[in-house]
Amino acid sequence: MSETTTGKPPVVTPLRVVIALCLIAPFVAMLWVGSYAKVDPLLAGIPFFYWYQMLWVLVSTLLTVIAYKLWQRDQRARRVREGGEER
């Protein structure tokens, strides 16, 4: 088991699980090609295969921002718990 720089093992919290899900979801969505390998429905004449992937570019960006903000919150809470200053 790996340890953090404080010598304690990493802690799995509900917040960290949400962060992981936010970062894993785009990979799962894009690797499951069978779910979007089709032409219909068209969106402004663009086949589903293409506009679905472009939609995930935006969704991935949003999920990455959410994960980053949650990580910042987690790290602030950790510093406060350990008696450090909040930045």
Q: Which domain holds residue 48?
A: 14-79
User: Is 69 inside a domain boundary?
Assistant: yes
Asked if residue 10 lies in contact with residue 2, where contact means CB atoms within 8 angstroms, the answer is yes
Q: pLDDT class for 79, splitting at 50, 70, 90?
A: confident
Angstrom distance (rounded) from CA 20 to CA 12: 10
- Domain membership flag for residue 50: yes
Considering the domain boundaries, does residue 73 fall inside one? yes
Indicate the DSSP class of residue 34: G
Mean model confidence pLDDT for the chain = 88
Count of domains observed in the chain: 1
Global pTM reads 0.78
| pLDDT, tens digit (0-9, with 9 covering 90-100), for 19-53 | 999 999 999 999 999 988 999 999 999 999 999 99
Report if residue 45 sits inside a domain.
yes
Mean pLDDT confidence for 44-73: 95
* Inside any domain, residue 85: no
